[in-house]
Amino acid sequence: MAEFTMELNDEQREVRDWLHGFAADVIRPAAAEWDEREETPWPVIQEAAKVGIYSLDFYAQQYFDATGLGIPMAMEELFWGDAGIALSIVGTGLAAVGVLANGTEEQIGTWIPQMYGDANDVKVAAFCSSEPDAGSDVASMRTRAVYDEAKDEWVINGTKTWATNGGIANVHVVVAVVDPELGSKGHASFIVPPGTPGCSQGQKFKKHGIRASHTAEVILDDVRVPGSCLLGGKEKLDERLARARERARAGGGERVKNAAMATFEASRPAVGAMAVGTARAAYEVALDYAMTREQFGRPIIDNQGVAFQLADMRTQIDAARLLVWRASWMAVNGKPFTAAEGSMSKLYASETAKKVTAQAVQILGGNGYTREYPVERMHRDSAIYTIFEGTSEIQRLVIARTLSGMPIR
């Protein structure tokens, strides 16, 4: 087990600097254009693939970093560049985590490479959990998967929403209900392979922020997938459902983790790191502006009101990063989140990003409210962190129930 440390080693610093250079030289110059176009920045993704950032190998190296700091360090640097473009680059990772968290070794080896493609033909993947009437309330999910034993196929019907890369993905990972009587414990995850009949894009959303990232509905109309596309396999699913039914008959007992929750638990610290990156970017713009902008014959940072804001911004960013690093180290080293440390990191970092970007706009004044300066875009982008992969209210609920010992449904 790696010791927890606040110092990156030489290799990690080299990777961080490499990512920072890519974010500064490739992502930032393209940010305003793709925000205005509200389209997937395929050329930037391809550039990331050419240098090895958008690839299974890079993702795996960071994911399996024994210190746990590989993924949060990478997320912070890329999202420092621009949240919308960075989400287009890393959005496939959520689907990959869904397979890593629930799939067999064969499924991991088969499907994750197809999620990325290669530098000459980049692909993306989508994780599909939320529904029009079931966002945070995963127990209300309506998408159904029914097993056709004669053909060894699963038939999936339903509508997913808020899916990053939904409809344009090469591979979709879909969470569906297999046993409605078990609520959230009756869910399973499925691979929907490329070109599967019945899987199509619904509404594409025009968003307040992260506009370079494609978000859409995914329609599943009698989608048939082979039995081998059930993540984890049917034997494992049957065993899990049998345990859940037995506990339900016994009136509770040990909780059973559902497929969507397993994915979100693994990814929440990473989302916190994304928020830290956006907050840090806005802080740096505000700091530079405050040191160079003069009013009444002196830089505005000489005004205590501005200086104290910047001091608070930096303090909150550093505190958020430490919570993210702690949760990431715990996750990689098998430490249980006994106080919902993963949700803590996501909650605090998300709220920090919203607060810091708003303060950055205020420090820049009228300039901060225009698109001539990037803090306006950063402020819009930051709003998503308190919403997706569990709202701030849900994070507080998870933390409170973990502390009290109440079940998390």
Residues forming the active site: 389
* Residue 69, helix vs strand vs coil: coil
Do residues 324 and 345 make contact, with C-beta atoms less than 8 angstroms apart? yes
Handedness of CA 172, 173, 179, 183 (dihedral sign): negative
Tell me if 267 sits within 8 A of 331, measured CB to CB: no
Q: What Rg, from alpha-carbon coordinates, does the chain have?
A: 22
User: Which residues lie closer than 8 Å to 310 by C-beta, 6 or more apart?
Assistant: 283, 286, 287, 290, 301, 363
> What kind and span of H or E run contains 72?
helix 70-81
In whole angstroms, give the CA distance from residue 130 to residue 295.
49
**CA 240 – CA 256 distance, rounded (Å):** 8
Contact 314, 259 (CB under 8 A): no
Question: With contact defined as beta carbons under 8 Å apart, do 316 and 355 qualify?
Answer: yes
Tokens of 295: 């009013």
409: tokens are: 């449904």
